[in-house]
């Protein structure tokens, strides 16, 4: 007997993500999928954001790592509820993990949910977590050639944060190529040059993100 199906292999996953998105919509939560290489500065960006925003915006964080709860602990120390997902080997977060994490957060009291994805420029770009916006972090020490090398990651980002600009004098990072290649891929992307360590540039990013919450 032959049966015609024509359904996406990951249909079951997509359905879970669609349900998650409905729940977040119902609670009026703006959801960010924060991505970037290991060590780019995702958690540092989050810590800086929290210190500038937590008095006016109710935030919550879902942390994704293979192992340890180090990042969730850092976030909680900043005064914001965080749930740690340990994938124990999986290289990206998926809808089922997010569904589990969401159940542990007081979503009715959250305006802004940030999902810090696994440090990885490849796989997370391919999995929709039901987010409203994707934000990626690239650090100066990684090199400007990562933009054309990982197009899906940077093409789908609403904002790209270039971190560790304090290290520019010690690298050969080509700023001109960075801006040119990024704008070619993604003409409307918002670009922020920051140094989390020296508290440079994060105020501008905070203003931008706040404007997204207001229009949500």
Q: Where are the alpha helices (DSSP H) in 27-168?
A: 42-53, 70-77, 95-102, 146-149, 151-155
Between 123 and 133, CB nearer to other proteins: 123
The Cα 111–Cα 167 span in angstroms is 34
Tokens of residue 76, six digits: 């909680």
Binder of other proteins out of 176, 187, 214, 215 (CB under 8 A): 187
Between 2 and 172, CB nearer to other proteins: 2
Q: Is 2 an interacting residue with respect to other proteins (CB under 8 A)?
A: yes
Which residue has 């929709």 as its token pair? 128
Q: Is 37 an interacting residue with respect to other proteins (CB under 8 A)?
A: no
What are the φ/ψ torsions at residue 190 (nearest 5 degrees)? Answer: -90, 130
Q: Is 88 an interacting residue with respect to other proteins (CB under 8 A)?
A: no
Restricting to residues 153-182, name those near other proteins by CB under 8 A.
155
Restricting to residues 5-34, name those near other proteins by CB under 8 A.
5-13
Between 11 and 55, CB nearer to other proteins: 11
Smallest separation (angstroms) from other proteins to the CB of 126: 6
The Cα 176–Cα 158 span in angstroms is 20
Among candidates 43, 112, 31, which has minimal Cα distance to 78?
Answer: 43
Which positions lie near other proteins, rule CB under 8 A? 1-13, 91, 123, 126, 151, 155, 184-187
């Amino acid at each position: 007997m032959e049966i015609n199906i024509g359904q996406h292999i990951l249909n079951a996953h997509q359905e879970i993500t669609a349900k998650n998105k409905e729940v977040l919509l119902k609670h009026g939560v703006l959801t960010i999928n924060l991505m970037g290489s290991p060590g780019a500065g995702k958690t540092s960006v989050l810590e800086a954001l929290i210190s500038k925003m937590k008095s006016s915006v109710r935030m919550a964080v879902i942390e994704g790592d293979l192992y340890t709860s180090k990042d969730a602990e850092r976030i909680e120390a900043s005064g914001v509820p965080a749930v740690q997902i340990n994938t124990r080997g999986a290289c990206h977060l998926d809808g089922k993990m997010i569904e589990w994490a969401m159940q542990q957060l007081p979503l009715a009291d959250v305006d802004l949910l940030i999902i810090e994805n696994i440090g990885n420029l490849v796989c997370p770009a391919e999995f929709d977590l039901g987010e409203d916006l994707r934000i990626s972090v690239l650090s100066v020490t990684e090199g400007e050639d990562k933009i054309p090398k990982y197009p899906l990651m940077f093409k789908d980002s609403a904002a790209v944060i270039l971190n560790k600009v304090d290290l520019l004098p010690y690298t050969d990072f080509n700023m001109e190529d960075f801006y040119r290649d990024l704008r070619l891929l993604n003409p409307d992307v918002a670009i922020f040059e920051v140094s989390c360590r020296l508290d440079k540039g994060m105020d501008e990013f905070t203003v931008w993100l706040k404007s997204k919450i207001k229009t949500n």
